[in-house]
Amino acid sequence: MAVYYFPFSDISNYNGLMMIKYLTFFALMGWGLTSLAQIKMNNFRIVDAETKLPIPYVSISLSRANVAMNTEQDGLLSIPGDLATFRDTVFIAAQNYLIIKAPIRSLNGLDTIRLRKSAYRPPLITPSNTGTDTVLNKFNWRDVCFFAGVHTENARFSYLQMAQEFDVPVQGATLKQISICRLAHMGLVRMSADGDVIIMNQEKYVQLELTKFRLRFYDVDPRTGGPGRDIYTKVVEVSNKDDRNLKINLKEYSIIIPGKKFFVAVEWLRTFDNAGYAEYRSEQNLIYKPTLGMLPYATGKLKIWGLTYGHKWQPYTYYSPDWTDLAISATVKW
Amino acid sequence: MPALIHKHLIACIFALLLLPCVSSAQKIFEGQVLDKETEATIPGVTVILLKEKKGTQTNNRGYYKLLSTDTIATDTLQFTSVGYKTLKIAVSAYEPNMFVTLEVDVTQLKGVTITNSKKKIPQIHYFRMANIKTNDHNNPTLPFDAQYMFAVLAKAEKKHSRITSLKVGRRGFNDPNRPTGYAQFLLHILSVDATTGKPGQKIYTKQVIVEDNSMILDIDVSADNWVMDTDNFYIGVEWQRTPINERLVTGIDEIVWKTTAKGTQRLQDAPTYRMVYQPSLIAFINGKKYTAYYMNTPGNWQRYNLKISYMVMGTPVPYDTHIALSATLTY
């Protein structure tokens, strides 16, 4: 049986999350594990520039190394190595804050990174009240058998968020509910090192794996046709969901859609509890829950967008031209 | 008078409570219809929900899918086909993706002489419906681990046989959230490598595309004139590694979460994900000898020897398995 061993697991000062971060950075930035003892650690705290309070789940990504991670609740971040020698661009982003895009070497010698609040606020829209409840991108969850969110043998999955495009008949519709189909395991079968299959004690795995993620809501970017600005500024965090077909009630948020087109995105939280492993080029690489279902229907228009580690939205073409939509439906009142 | 109102009120409440039992939301009925004796799939069977008055027919794989928009709990599924006895199943007894078997109706075959002698149809590595039923806990379906090809040695009784059909059992629905769905793959007949005994050159190839949730795939090659010069050959499945043919499977593994000061490792489960390709073949327990190979890297055949272990009194007991892949021949 394969056991993943984190090289820092005997250092009591570090928790599991930090170990994942170290491992990811080492593996993907080409550092030899043999020289760990000599590597300098760069520890940062990411805080709100005004309040000085730590910002949880800030996304940090390197476009060239194709690496991404999050801060935890404490806003802490550690990057191993001599940053002055790195040649890469770091993107530091959090909802409602201005994105920092800078050479990673500019972080050398810092211990605090301050993010400034974005001045942008979505326009106030009068809710429409002419129609009835409508389910957009309606699907039968039993049809979902393809999933996005993991590496495959030939393609690395490198997105911070994935968004589904929706069209509504009128401006000012109210978003009431989101349904998402994901893949979650019960862990009934385990493969031993010599290839035997062992049926595990099923009672141990009576509950599906939990997940935690954020929902983001965007209007359309007129230049690209993809996701544009946030249409809702409060953080919508979904946690402890143990179902495969997730239903998220949004009534309490009063999210008004300003135009006739909008996007709902899942933002992955790169935490220890969300982490899993998927093969890419015969090596196990970290991925994060939830996986997102794909609808096995071809509509002729691709409506899925992914936010890259370089913070650019681009169409998600992995299943093109066959599948065009995520298994995300939206219930709107208009 | 108030007593009468009270009586009516109770009756109304009782009737309202019963409503969900009479009518419920939409439901999908699907599965495959087989001949009870031969277990051949039966195309053209009419499947009807008698009360809802909705119906469909099985396709060329004996597969049907019937969407009931307003399922009546007391409704009945009826299966009718010429030459077979009509079968009725209460919808309450329906199980997802179940096999339905129809019995030949001898009374309808007027003018036909029926004898007890059965013509023997040579089938190599014959497997039965019971071997791949997912609701039988003793025969679980498992994700198959080969990446490129799988081949099983077939030994015909004599040379110059003609292959008329191939039968594949593929992974089904032990998880109702993940239907088998679309699959495309290649079926091969391969020679036996004279030096190694492993699969050799491809002799015949047929592409198979499945767009439904059939678990038993009967592939008719009688029109392809697959005649074998030798009595030994391999039947092979080759996976087509395209995104639309992928299927994500999950598992668990353990990570070292923490090592204590005394050196004790604390482990924690973490999910693992990997892609397999359709079809996911079915392994089932069979005591007979079996020579098979799988290919996980191109050109490298490895001996197949998968064992399924069951926990018996806390100890895993291994059993040999076969893969549900067979051929029908004529001489």
Put residue A109 in one of left, alpha, beta given phi > 0 → left and psi -120 to 50 → alpha. Answer: left
Calculate mean pLDDT across residues A3-20.
Answer: 32
Task: Give the residue from B73, B108, B143 where a domain finishes.
Answer: B108
Which residues in A lie closer than 8 A to residue B268 (C-beta atoms)? 16
Confidence of residue B120 (pLDDT cuts 50, 70, 90): low
Residues A232 and A323 in one domain: yes
Judge whether residue B139 has pLDDT over 90.
no
Residues A179 and A237 in one domain: yes
Neighbouring CB atoms inside 10 A of B17's CB total: 9
**Can you give the pLDDT at residue B318?**
81
Residues A137 and A266 in one domain: yes
* Residue A284 vs residue A67, higher pLDDT: A67
Say whether A145 and B145 touch across the interface (CB within 8 A): no
Task: Give the residue from A115, A145, A167 where a domain finishes.
Answer: A115
Residues B129 and B103 in one domain: no
Nearest-CB residue to B248 (from A12, A183, A197): A183
**Can you give the pLDDT at residue B55?**
95
Name the burial class of residue B30, with classes exposed (0-12), middle (13-18) and buried (19+) by CB atoms within 10 angstroms of its CB: buried
Judge whether residue A172 has pLDDT over 80.
yes
ipTM above 0.85, yes or no: no
Say whether A190 and B252 touch across the interface (CB within 8 A): yes
**Can you give the pLDDT at residue B25?**
61
Judge whether residue A247 has pLDDT over 90.
yes
Judge whether residue B279 has pLDDT over 70.
yes
Judge whether residue A216 has pLDDT over 60.
yes
Residues A224 and A192 in one domain: yes
Task: Give the residue from A53, A82, A115 where a domain finishes.
Answer: A115
Question: Does residue B68 fall inside a structural domain?
Answer: yes
* Residue A72 vs residue A113, higher pLDDT: A113
Residues paired with residue B208 on neighbouring β-strands, in sequence order: B185
Calculate mean pLDDT across residues B270-285.
Answer: 82
Question: Does residue B278 fall inside a structural domain?
Answer: yes
Question: Does residue B170 fall inside a structural domain?
Answer: yes
Domain that holds residue B31: 26-108
In chain A, which among 176-205 make CB contacts under 8 A with chain B?
A: 181, 183-185, 187, 189-192, 195-199, 201, 205
Question: Does residue A3 fall inside a structural domain?
Answer: no
Mutate to test the interface with B, among A18, A183, A283 (most CBs of B within 10 A): A183
Question: Does residue A280 fall inside a structural domain?
Answer: yes
- For A95-135, what is each residue's pLDDT tens digit? 999 999 999 999 998 999 999 999 988 888 889 888 789 99
Say whether B267 and A323 touch across the interface (CB within 8 A): no
**Can you give the pLDDT at residue A97?**
97
Asked if A297 reaches chain B (Cβ–Cβ under 8 Å), the answer is: no
**Can you give the pLDDT at residue A264?**
98
Residues A144 and A196 in one domain: yes
Residues A153 and A299 in one domain: yes
Q: Which of A140, A128, A153 is nearest to A293 (CA)?
A: A140
Confidence of residue A183 (pLDDT cuts 50, 70, 90): confident
**Can you give the pLDDT at residue B113?**
57
Task: Give the residue from B108, B136, B162 where a domain finishes.
Answer: B108
Q: Which of A162, A161, A163, A158 is nearest to A62 (CA)?
A: A158
Confidence of residue A17 (pLDDT cuts 50, 70, 90): very low
% residues pLDDT > 90 (chain B): 42
What mean pLDDT value characterizes chain A?
A: 83
Calculate mean pLDDT across residues B253-258.
Answer: 68
Domain that holds residue A229: 133-333
Question: Does residue A187 fall inside a structural domain?
Answer: yes
**Can you give the pLDDT at residue B252?**
73
What mean pLDDT value characterizes chain B?
A: 81
- For B58-82, what is each residue's pLDDT tens digit? 999 999 999 898 888 899 999 999 9
Nearest-CB residue to A2 (from B253, B274, B306): B253
Question: Does residue A8 fall inside a structural domain?
Answer: no
Question: Does residue A167 fall inside a structural domain?
Answer: yes
Question: Does residue B10 fall inside a structural domain?
Answer: no
Q: Say how far apart CA B207 and CA B185 lie, in whole Å.
A: 6
Tokens linked to A302: 């691709």
Distance to chain B for A134, nearest Cα, Å: 18
Calculate mean pLDDT across residues A221-240.
Answer: 94
Asked if A175 and A330 touch (Cβ cutoff 8 Å), the reply is yes
The CA distances from residue A124 to A169, A232, A321, in Å, are 19, 10, 38
Calculate mean pLDDT across residues A41-48.
Answer: 92
Q: Say how far apart CA A296 and CA A143 lie, in whole Å.
A: 7
% residues pLDDT > 90 (chain A): 53
Say whether B250 and A244 touch across the interface (CB within 8 A): no
Residues A110 and A182 in one domain: no
Residues A315 and A195 in one domain: yes
Judge whether residue A197 has pLDDT over 60.
no
Question: Does residue A4 fall inside a structural domain?
Answer: no
Residues B98 and B149 in one domain: no
If one counts the domains in chain A, the total is: 2
% residues pLDDT > 70 (chain B): 79
Distance to chain B for A98, nearest Cα, Å: 34
Residues B136 and B65 in one domain: no
Lowest mean pLDDT among B91-95, B294-298, B311-315: B311-315
Residues A141 and A205 in one domain: yes
Residues B195 and B287 in one domain: yes
Residues A54 and A147 in one domain: no
Q: What is the CATH number of the domain that holds A52?
A: 2.60.40
If one counts the domains in chain B, the total is: 2
% residues pLDDT > 70 (chain A): 81
Q: What is the CATH number of the domain that holds B42?
A: 2.60.40.1120
Task: Give the residue from B58, B75, B108 where a domain finishes.
Answer: B108
Judge whether residue A248 has pLDDT over 90.
yes
Q: Which of A99, A89, A87 is nearest to A59 (CA)?
A: A99
Question: Does residue A249 fall inside a structural domain?
Answer: yes
Question: Does residue A127 fall inside a structural domain?
Answer: no
Calculate mean pLDDT across residues B213-237.
Answer: 93
Residues A246 and A297 in one domain: yes
Give the pairing of strands B199-210 and B87-90: unpaired
Calculate mean pLDDT across residues A24-32.
Answer: 44
Residues A287 and A199 in one domain: yes
